[in-house]
Amino acid sequence: MIQGPCHEPALEQPTLARRSLLIGAGAAAAGMAAWPWLRDRLALPAPVFLARAQRYDGPLEQTIRDGLLATGIDPARLRGRKVLLKPNLVEPSRLAPQVTTHPAMIVAAAEVFRRWGAHVAVGEAPGHIRDTEMAVVESGLAEALIATRLDFRDLNYEEAVWTPNTGHRSKLPGFWFPRSVAEADLVVSLPKLKTHHWVGMTAALKNMYGVLPGIQYGWPKNVLHHAGIAETVCDLNASLGKTIAIVDGIVCMEGDGPIMGTPKQLGLIAIGMNATAVDATCARIMGLQPQRLSYLKLGADLLGPIRERLIVERGEPWQQLATPFKLLDRPHITALRA
């Protein structure tokens, strides 16, 4: 019998129900006119760690460990737990390092969790390629997996578990999660930081499209697109269980992302226990307004904070890393600029 995901978090966070109860009680007392003010006051701050001047041949393991500790992870609670690393392997090519998560980032993250006693695997369901093995080879990940004896899970073809939609932003009743995702105690989003020609940016939240199996959702996953990208990104992340984010922003993509864009050297690693806060911070670094990105605006109350005053800086201030990314010259994209 397939068990559902373990929802005991790697760090202490109040549940959404408790937060909703507090907000509801406050709104009833103060009146609906005070709702936005109460929502901001009662929302919990989320730490985000930023590290600059990073290189793929640098001390990535140390940076990732420092970032996880700085944002609140408890290593003792990971001992013996199942950790699934979810990189981005969409349409990989060794000649285009801006497209996919670099193998060095994946290996470094795996080593951090291994040293803390976790059982670590890497999993991905490429949305454009039916041959997942080819994606692993072309991304350069295959050699790294062999060298470090890391298990890889082909999420496109695994047995799937039905999970109800707990986000309720879209009309989808639920999601089919591969067994490795459903049984993981922690799913780590390891995206490449890129522009996106439909929603402006793709990072930790949008990367989770890649946990859904192609045998259920097709190639590409148009079921999700037709139900609304912003809505399904929110619902998917709300339904997943415990997730955190480690963003590969060392070599990024700008222009016609997430596949056809050009490389942008940034040297950034972004880490946080709340992927929404991490994505909002990355958006600011790229010169985008988080509240104008559809899925961040829609998920702000459901998934985590996007307002700057509710995000606690760890490491480098984002203002010192800010550099505008080139965007497609389309009205719905250029409107995202700060």
> What pLDDT, in 10s, does the model give residues 228-262?
999 999 999 999 989 999 999 999 999 999 999 99
Min mean pLDDT across 18-22, 184-188, 263-267, 317-321 is at 18-22
Q: Per-residue pLDDT for 219 more than 80?
A: yes
Task: Tell me what the pLDDT averaged over the chain comes to.
Answer: 89
Q: What is the mean pLDDT of residues 43-70?
A: 96
Please, what is the Cα angle at 177 between 175 and 183, to 5 degrees?
A: 135
DSSP letter, residue 337 = B
Above pLDDT 90, what percent of the chain?
A: 82
In this prediction, residue 240 carries a pLDDT of 96
Q: Is the dihedral of CA 51, 52, 56, 57 positive or negative?
A: negative
Q: How far is CA 327 from CA 250, 251, 305, 338, in A?
A: 19, 16, 25, 13
Q: Which residues of 306-338 are buried (b: 16+ CB within 10 A; e: fewer)?
A: beeebbbebbbebeebeeebbbbeeeebeebee
- Residue 229, H or E segment: helix 229-239
Q: What is the mean pLDDT of residues 312-336?
A: 95
**How far apart, in whole angstroms, are the C-alpha atoms of residue 36 and residue 40?**
6
In this prediction, residue 128 carries a pLDDT of 86
Q: Per-residue pLDDT for 9 more than 50?
A: no
**How far apart, in whole angstroms, are the C-alpha atoms of residue 167 and residue 295?**
12
pLDDT tens for residues 104-118? 999 999 999 999 999
- Cross-strand partners of 192: 248
Name the residue ranges covered by the structural domains of the chain: 46-334
In this prediction, residue 40 carries a pLDDT of 53
Give the residue among 243, 269, 275 at the shortest CA–CA distance from 321: 269
161: confidence class by pLDDT, cuts 50, 70, 90: very high
338: confidence class by pLDDT, cuts 50, 70, 90: low
Q: For the chain, how many residues are written?
A: 338
pLDDT tens for residues 273-283? 999 999 999 99
**Model pTM greater than 0.85?**
yes
94: confidence class by pLDDT, cuts 50, 70, 90: confident
In this prediction, residue 13 carries a pLDDT of 41
For residue 178, the number of C-alpha atoms closer than 13 Å in the C-beta half-sphere is 25
Q: What is the mean pLDDT of residues 56-81?
A: 98
In this prediction, residue 43 carries a pLDDT of 63
Q: How far is CA 116 from CA 47, 74, 183, 285, in A?
A: 21, 9, 19, 31
Q: How far is CA 321 from CA 23, 52, 257, 318, in A?
A: 34, 7, 20, 5
Is 3.40.50 the CATH number for 46-334?
A: yes
